[in-house]
Structure 1
Amino acid sequence: MKDIHYRLPQHRALVTELPGPASTALTARRRAAVAAGVGSSVPVYTADADGGVIVDVDGNSLVDLGSGIAVTSVGASDPAVVEAVREQVGHFTHTCFMVTPYEGYVRVAEELAALTPGDHEKRTVLFNSGAEAVENAVKVARLATGRDAIVAFDHAYHGRTNLTMALTAKSMPYKAHFGPFAPEVYRLPMSYPYRDADGLSGEQAAQRAIDQMEKQIGADSLAAIIIEPIQGEGGFIVPADGFLPTLATWAREHGVVFIADEVQTGFCRTGSWFASDHEGIVPDIITMAKGMAGGMPLSAITGRADLLDKVHPGGLGGTYGGNPVACAAALAAIDTMREYDLPARARRIEGLVLPRLRALADEVGVIGDIRGRGAMLAMEFVQPGTDKPDPELTKAIAAGALTQGVIVLTCGTYGNVIRLLPPLVIGDELLDDALTVIEETVRSLVREKSLV
C-alpha cells in the first residue's frame, strides 16, 4: 500500500481522565439544548481527527475503531476530500439538481455504475442518508413490479424512517413506541451460523426462507427482497456460504427485485469494493451511503436501468439529494480509495486483527464467535460455557477500552457484540496498540468477574 501521510500524530495519548473537564462542560450544555432522544456512545467531544485518531476538546488523542459507524474509511480529514470540498464551496454550495443540474452528480453516477457489481446497464439516484436510499429502492421495486410485499430478515437494520423502521428488526432503541409502521413488510429467518442449528448450510437456510416466502406471501405478491450482505447493527452477521446466491437466484427466477443494502459494507470496508462481490452476487439494486463521501452526507441507489427508468420524471429526488459539495467529496474519496488500494488495506487489517481475536477467544472463554470480513470485524460475548448473550460484559469492555483511549462500538440484537470498524487508513502500529488495549481490557474484566 502507498504510504499515507498524516496531519496529526498517530498515537494514543491521555492528558486527562475521560471525559475531561471540557467534555464534561459540553455535556452540561448539551443537556440544556439537545433532545434527550439523541444518544452518543462516547462521552467525549471531538476537536480534531485524522487517520486513525480523534483528538478531543481536552487534548486527549484516542484511537478510533468506529469510523463514525463505518463512514470515515479514508479518515476524517483526508486531504483530497478537504481540498475538493474547499474548491466546490468556493463556486457554489447548492442549486438543487432537480432545478439546475451540475456535472458532479453525473460523475458520481458514472463512478457508481463502474464500481458496483455487474456489467449491465445501470442508473443512479443520489440522496442524503442510508434510510433515504433504502426507502427509494423499495419505491422503485414496487413501481417496477406492480407488487407490494417486501421481505426483510431477522437482525436487519435498514434505518429510522417509518418504512425503514418496519424493515429493521430490533425494537429498542430503533422502533419502540414509534409505530404503527409501514405495511406489507414480512420478516424471515436469517442465516446466523453461530446460532443456527449445527450443520445448517447456507443453501438450506435460504431454502427455509424461500419456503416461507412461497407459502406465506407468494412470489406473485413479492416486490423485493432486501438484505445486508453482512448485517451491521444486527451483529456483523456473515451468512453461511451459499445463502445469498440461493436467494438471489430464486428472486431472479420469480421476477422479485433483489436489493443489497450495502450502506455499511460498501466502499472497500469488507476487503472488496462491495460485500456482494465476495459471493459473486449481482443485486438488481444496491443501496449505498456511509463510506462513500469521506464524511459528507451522501447516499445512492444504483440499479438496473430497466427498473429505475420505469419511474416517471419527478418521482425520485429531493432538495438536497446529490448536493454538489457532497458529490465533490465522494469523487475525491473514491480517488483516495483507488490511490491507496483500500480494498487491499481492509484485507490486511483482517489479517492483522483476526488471529489476535481468535487467540483471545481461546484464552478467555467468554467469546462465542469471531466473525467478519476486511475491516468489519466482531466479537460476540457470551456467558462461560454457554451461548447465552452477555451484554453487561460487552458494555463493560467498551467502557473499559475508552478509559484507556480506545473507541469501540457495540451492536447486535442481544447487545453482546463488540464491533471493530477502524478507518482503512489506520497505521499498523496504532492498530496494534488498540488491539493490545482491547485484549488487556477483556482479560482484566474476566478476572475481575471471576468468569474463568
Structure 2
Amino acid sequence: MAAVEQQRRVVTAIPGPRSQELQARRLATVSAGVGTGLPVYVERAGGGILVDVDGNQLIDFGSGIAVTTVGASNPRVVEAVQRQVRDFTHTCFMVTPYEEYLAVCEKLARLTPGDHDKRSALFNSGAEAVENAVKIARVYTGRSAVVTFDHAYHGRTNLTMALTAKSMPYKQGFGPFAGEVYRAPMAYPYRWRGAADDVAREAFEAFAGQVHTQVGEQNVAAVVIEPIQGEGGFIVPPAGWLQLIADWCHKHGALLVADEIQTGFCRTGDWFACDHEGVVPDLITTAKGIAGGLPLAAVTGRADVMNAVHPGGLGGTFGGNPVACVAALAAIETMEAEDLPARARAIEELFTTRLRRLAESFDVIGDVRGRGAMLAIEFVRGGGDTTPNPELTAAVNQHCHREGLVTLTAGTYGNVLRFLPPLSISDDLLNEGLDILERAFVTHA
C-alpha cells in the first residue's frame, strides 16, 4: 500500500457521511459504555496523518493516546509483524516459549532506568501491568498498603480504578474497589497554594505526614506514581519532588513503582521520564508506545523483587504475544536509529514557543506545561480567575476536530487540552495544527 501523503485535507464535514453511517452501526452494536472522542472512522494512517473513510486527512496530535510514537504503520513495525504472522501468531509463552519474548525483556533491562540486575514480565495493557506491579510489591515486602496520588490515572480494572483518582467516568458506579489503597496530595505547581519554589518540599511533607498518620510507613508495600501525570492533566511535579518520594521509599522499605505507561519510550525527551532527574524506581510499568500500536505491556524491576513471586504467579494467555513482541523490537529499533528522544525535545521547543505566545494573548490559558512531546494547556476563566473552564476546553477541542486536527482533552476538572503527536510527524504538520489551534482561540476565547 502506498505511503500516506503527509498533508491535511478536509473534503467533507467532519464526521463525513460514511463515518456517520458507521457510527449508526456502532450505536446498534457497541456498548454505550465505550466512549469516543471523535466519531471519525479511520481506514489508513501513517506518520502524522489519519485518513478517514470519507477521504479526509486529519493531523494527528493524539497518537492513539501516546501509542503510535514511531508513527502509525511504521515501516519497520509493519515488516516485522508481517514476517512474524507468517511464522506463527501464538503459542502462549507459559506453554511453549519463544525467543521474541526474551529479546523484549533484554531490551527493557538495557533501556529502563538503573544499571542493576533486572527481570521483566510481559502483559497486554497498562492497567494489567500496574496491577501486576502491585502484586509483586506485596509479595516482596509482605505488606499490603499502596499509596497513590491525587489526579492519578492507572487504569480501569478493579484495583487500578482504586488507584485512579477521578470518579467520572472511570469509577462511577463500579465499586466497591480493592482495599488498602491510600491517596496522598500531588505536587501540582499551578494549583499548589504558596510559593512555587516551596512546592516540592511542601508537597512531600504533606505526603509523608499523611502516610505516617493514616497508613503507617511500616505497612506500605508500594508508592505508585506517574512521573508526569497523564489523564490527570499532564501535571509535571517540581524538580526534586520525585527524588524525595524515592528516598522516602528506600528509607522505609517500600517500593517505588513508576507508572511510565504514557511517559515512556521517548515521549518526554528521555527514554523514560524518570531519567530526567536520574530517579531509579524499583519497578517500572510500560505499555502504550512500546510496540508501535500493538497491545503489549511490561513490568520491569530489580531481579530480587521480580523473582520473589512463585512460579505461575505471573502471566496470562496473551501476555507477550510474539507478534506484539516483534513489533516492540522494531519500534525500539526505530527509536534508537532516529534518536526519537531528541526529536521529542525538538517538538517541545516548537510547541512551547507557540503555546506561550498564545498564552500571552489569551488569559484563559492558565498554564502551559509538559515535557518533550507530552504537552498541555490548562483552561481557566481568565481575568485573574483560575477556576477551571471545561466549557471552553470542549469548544476549542471540537473546533480543532471540525478543521481536521485530532486533539484530546484531559484533567480532573476536564479543562486541559493535551498534545501527544507522533514523533515521526513533520514540523510543517505541527505548525499547521497549531495554526488551527490559534484560530480556535480567536473564535471561542
Task: Return the match for 1:30 from 21, 26, 29.
Answer: 26
The answer (yes or no) to whether the contact 1:370–1:380 under 8 Å persists in 2 is yes
Task: Return the match for 1:112 from 90, 96, 108.
Answer: 108
Letter in 1 for 2:285: T
Counterpart in the other structure of 2:324:
326
Task: Return the match for 2:258 from 229, 254, 260.
Answer: 260
- With 264-273 and 192-201 compared, the bigger mean Cα shift is at 192-201
Instruction: State the distance in 2 between where 1:439 and 1:126 align.
Output: 42
The answer (yes or no) to whether the contact 1:202–1:241 under 8 Å persists in 2 is yes
Instruction: State the distance in 2 between where 1:443 and 1:210 align.
Output: 45
Q: Please, what is the CA RMSD of the aligned residues?
A: 0.7
Task: Return the match for 1:9 from 5, 21, 24.
Answer: 5
Q: Where do residues 95-174 of structure 1 align in structure 2 (5 Å cutoff)?
A: 95-174=91-170
Task: Return the match for 2:68 from 69, 72, 78.
Answer: 72
Q: Indicate whether 1:395 and 2:394 are aligned.
A: yes
Which 5+ residue runs of structure 2 have no aligned equivalent? none
Counterpart in the other structure of 1:277:
275
Secondary structure of 2:146's aligned partner: strand
Letter in 2 for 1:188: A
Counterpart in the other structure of 1:415:
414
Counterpart in the other structure of 2:342:
344
Shift of 1:153: 0.2
Q: Residues 394-415 of structure 1, C-alpha deviation per residue, up to 9 Å, x if partnerless?
A: 0010100111110100000000
Percent identity reads 63
Q: Residues 114-159 of structure 1, C-alpha deviation per residue, up to 9 Å, x if partnerless?
A: 0000000000000000000000000000000000000000000000
The answer (yes or no) to whether the contact 1:49–1:55 under 8 Å persists in 2 is yes
Q: Runs (4+) of structure 1 moved beyond 2 Å? A: none
Counterpart in the other structure of 1:44:
40
Instruction: State the distance in 2 between where 1:100 and 1:176 align.
Output: 41
Q: Residues 160-179 of structure 1, C-alpha deviation per residue, up to 9 Å, x if partnerless?
A: 00000000000000000000
Counterpart in the other structure of 1:85:
81
Task: Return the match for 1:309 from 307, 310, 324.
Answer: 307
Letter in 1 for 2:111: L
Instruction: State the distance in 2 between where 1:182 and 1:208 align.
Output: 24
Q: Residues 390-443 of structure 1, C-alpha deviation per residue, up to 9 Å, x if partnerless?
A: 000000101001111101000000000000000000001011100010011112
Counterpart in the other structure of 1:449:
none
Task: Return the match for 2:171 from 169, 175, 182.
Answer: 175
Instruction: State the distance in 1 between where 2:379 and 2:109 align.
Output: 39
TM superposition score normalised by structure 1? 0.97
Q: Residues 200-231 of structure 1, C-alpha deviation per residue, up to 9 Å, x if partnerless?
A: 33122112101111121111111000000000
Letter in 2 for 1:163: L
Q: Residues 28-81 of structure 1, C-alpha deviation per residue, up to 9 Å, x if partnerless?
A: 111111010001100110010000000000000000000000000001100000
The answer (yes or no) to whether the contact 2:232–2:412 under 8 Å persists in 1 is yes
Q: Where do residues 347-362 of structure 1 align in structure 2 (5 Å cutoff)?
A: 347-362=345-360
Instruction: State the distance in 1 between where 2:442 and 2:358 align.
Output: 9
TM superposition score normalised by structure 2? 0.98
Letter in 2 for 1:351: E
Q: Where do residues 176-191 of structure 1 align in structure 2 (5 Å cutoff)?
A: 176-191=172-187
Secondary structure of 2:191's aligned partner: coil
Secondary structure of 2:51's aligned partner: strand
Q: Where do residues 370-381 of structure 1 align in structure 2 (5 Å cutoff)?
A: 370-381=368-379
Which 5+ residue runs of structure 1 have no aligned equivalent? 1-5, 447-452
